[in-house]
Structures are given as C-alpha cells and as structure tokens.
Amino acid sequence: MQSIKLAAKKREEFGKKSTKAVRKDDRIPAVIYGQGEPVNFSLDVKDVKPLIYTPNAYIVELDIEGKTEHGVLREVQFHPVEEKILHMDFFRVSESKPITIDIPVRITGNSEGVKMGGKLVQNKRKLTVSGLLKHLPDELVVDITNLSIGKTIFVGDLAYDNLRLLNPASTAVCAVRVTRAAAAAAAAAADAK
C-alpha cells in the first residue's frame, strides 16, 4: 500500500480561540486516535492536498515533532461554503491488527458486451476492505473481459487473497448496459431474418 509523509506540529491549546489561530496560520487542526491516547496536532494546508484531492488510498506517516505515527484518514470536515478544510481525523494503524479502508477499483480487460455495442457503467469507484497492513493493495483490479451486454459484476462475485470485502454482496461494481444503437441494431438484425 502506498504511503505519504506529513510533518505536523503538536497542539497543546484547545478551544475556539486557539483553533482560529491555527487556521489563520494556514494550518489544519487534526487528531489521531485509536490504540492508545489521542494526539492533537496541526498540518500545513499545502501538505494535505495530495492526500485529499486524489482517488488513491494512503497509509499516512505523521511526523509529530520527532514522533512518528502511522494512520489512515478517517474523516475530513469542510467549510460549508468556502470548501476550506476545517478539521481532519486519522485512525492509528498497527502491523498486527486488521485495517478497514476504502481502496480504489481499477477496471481491466476488453468487455465482450462493449465490443458488441454496449456501454460500460462503473457503479463503485472504491470498495471498503479489511485486512492486515502488509496485505493491502494500492487498488482492487476487476477484470471485465467476459462481461456481456446486460450483465453485472457484484461485490459477491469478487475475491481477493487475505482481504475481506465489507460492502454488501449485492452491491453492483460495474455493468454493461444496452445502448439504444445496440438495441436498434439487434432489432434490425431480427427483422432481416
């Protein structure tokens, strides 16, 4: 799994006044919790952009004034109007305990249904998985080579080594839909017979 490093400053003061002062310095208040004491810190606004504005999933390595913490991003709070980041929550991870994280889905292959005029529709861009840190992939690969028109790949159809998919088995990942042109061509072919 990919990781990203962020430098952080520990926060000793809390409350509205100190939080406003942190944001005025172009920093974001944040916390890491789970498996031990919560640690409050702040991050530079520019440093978090590669973590927030990406489809990828990362393990975050936080350098909090010399002490290293590993975690995954759990929640980001945005300003309702200005789209500024107000607060970030991280969950501490360890090598020995399973991690729950959303991992991006990558579609591969040339679908039979698309070759026949169907349209590929991807319903899920990320799937929630649980597994040990060493087993987490950068992406979940879904092969659509044998997917024909009108067929769907569900979460229940997928299996990955050492990972447990947490989405419901009936969740559609991708499908090949019938287009109007394909339906008209099939009707014309049936009429010609």
Tokens 């990972």, located at residue = 163
pLDDT band at 193 (very low <50, low <70, confident <90, very high): low
pLDDT band at 188 (very low <50, low <70, confident <90, very high): confident
Domains identified in the chain and CATH numbers = 3-92 (2.40.240.10), 99-192 (2.170.120.20)
Strand blocks (E) in 36-125: 39-44, 59-64, 67-78, 85-92, 99-108, 119-122
- Mean of pLDDT values over 61-75: 88
pLDDT band at 166 (very low <50, low <70, confident <90, very high): very high
